[in-house]
Every structure is written in structure tokens, then in C-alpha cells.
């Protein structure tokens, strides 16, 4: 039976870096962000329902949804964020389940569920254990402002829309401290793989 391991963090905590390391080690990554993009492609049910809810002003000239515009609407409005989540989250879970079943059919032993909002979306029941990627708040803010070219106010709003990393630390089965170098993070990951007897 394949084991499903959750991988989560906070925005700009470096979770994608660790996810890539796991992928390079041969693990199957079922990525919620990729699933989120897939279900928002034109023709998908979640795409149609999002346009119905938020209007055609969201569309780019190629018919795709302007993710930045949608993001700026929902990050400052809890009601609209909840509305979008109610449309998108069930579709994402379905897509991820589909990919997981394909990996199991291929004989994979460990499948990594890469889910940024694992705790916020109450999806821990989908995984047997959780790895949390942790960084200090000051580093998180600095990385997010630099990565997304955001003002401090906008970056703080995005961080505040998630459960604080300090809270997530208490809930996780393992924590990788990503404040230091990539070498340090990789070493922590390799030790965890050995400890949990994870194989791809």
C-alpha cells in the first residue's frame, strides 16, 4: 500500500525547493498548485463557475483567467476568498486524487501531496504524515517581497491569509528548517527519508 505524505509550509517558505528535491530523488509529487492551474483551464467546470461568480473582467485576451487580478481581489476580501475556495478546492482534490491513483497503479510506494494550505483547507485526513517547511517570519516576508515584487503591505496581507508557521510547527510530524543553506535543508530531508523509510 502506498503511503501518502503531506508537504506544506507557508508562502515563500521554500516548500517548492524541497518538493523539487523530492522529485529529483524519484518521488511522485502530486502538486496542489499544478492541480489548481489545471482545473482553471478554459473548459473545466471550476473555470466556468469562477467566471460566473467573479465576472468576465477576469479574463485575459486568450480566454484564460488573470490569476494576478483574481489574487488581488481575494487576498483582501475573506468572503470572496471563501467563495473562490468553495468552487476550486473540490475540483483540486478530485484532480489530485486522479493523479494519486495513477501513481499507485504504476506501483509507487510513497506519494508526496504538495499542498501549501494543507492545514487551512483541513486536508490532513488525506495524508498519513506531514512534513512542514519552516522559515522565520522576517525571512519569509523578505523572500516574498523580492520574489513577487510586492510592497510590504501586500506581502503581509498574503502571509496573514495563512495560518502562522509557528502554529503549523505544532501540528506537523516533521519540520525542515529552511532558514539556512540548501545543503542544510537537503541534509535534513535525507535524514527524514531514512528515518521514515520512505522509498519512491
Angle between helix axes 45-54 and 78-105 (nearest 10 degrees) is: 180
CA distance 7 to 23: 12
Beta-carbon contacts of 65 under 8 Å, excluding residues fewer than 6 positions away, are 40, 47, 50, 51, 58, 59
Annotated binding residue 15: yes
Annotated binding residue 181: no
Annotated binding residue 174: no
Annotated binding residue 103: no
CB half-sphere exposure, 21, CA atoms < 13 A: 19
Interstrand relation of 129-134 and 3-8 (parallel, antiparallel or unpaired): parallel
For residue 9, how many other CB atoms are within 10 A of its CB? 29
Annotated binding residue 17: yes
CA distance 117 to 167: 13
Annotated binding residue 12: yes
CA distance 66 to 51: 11
Label residue 13 left, alpha or beta by phi (over 0 means left) and psi (-120 to 50 means alpha): alpha
Binding residues: 12-17
Binding residues for ATP: 12-17
Amino acid at each position: 500500500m502506498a503511503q501518502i505524505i503531506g508537504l506544506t509550509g507557508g508562502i515563500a517558505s521554500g516548500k517548492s525547493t524541497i518538493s523539487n528535491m523530492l522529485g529529483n530523488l524519484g518521488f511522485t509529487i502530486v502538486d496542489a498548485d499544478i492541480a489548481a492551474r489545471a482545473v482553471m483551464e478554459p473548459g473545466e467546470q471550476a473555470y466556468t463557475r469562477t467566471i460566473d461568480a467573479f465576472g468576465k473582467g477576469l479574463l485575459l485576451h486568450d480566454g484564460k483567467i488573470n490569476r494576478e487580478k483574481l489574487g488581488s481581489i481575494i487576498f483582501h476580501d475573506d468572503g470572496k476568498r471563501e467563495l473562490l475556495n468553495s468552487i476550486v478546492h473540490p475540483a483540486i482534490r478530485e484532480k489530485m486524487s486522479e493523479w494519486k491513483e495513477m501513481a499507485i497503479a504504476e506501483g509507487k510506494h510513497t506519494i508526496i501531496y504538495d499542498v501549501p494550505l494543507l492545514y487551512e483547507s483541513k486536508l490532513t485526513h488525506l495524508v498519513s504524515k506531514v512534513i512542514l517547511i519552516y522559515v522565520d517570519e522576517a525571512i519569509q516576508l523578505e523572500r516574498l517581497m523580492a520574489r513577487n515584487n510586492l510592497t510590504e503591505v501586500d506581502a503581509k496581507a498574503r502571509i496573514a491569509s495563512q495560518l502562522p508557521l509557528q502554529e503549523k510547527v505544532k501540528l506537523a510530524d516533521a519540520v525542515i528548517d529552511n532558514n539556512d543553506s540548501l545543503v542544510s535543508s537537503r541534509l535534513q530531508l535525507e535524514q527524514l527519508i531514512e528515518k521514515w523509510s520512505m522509498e519512491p
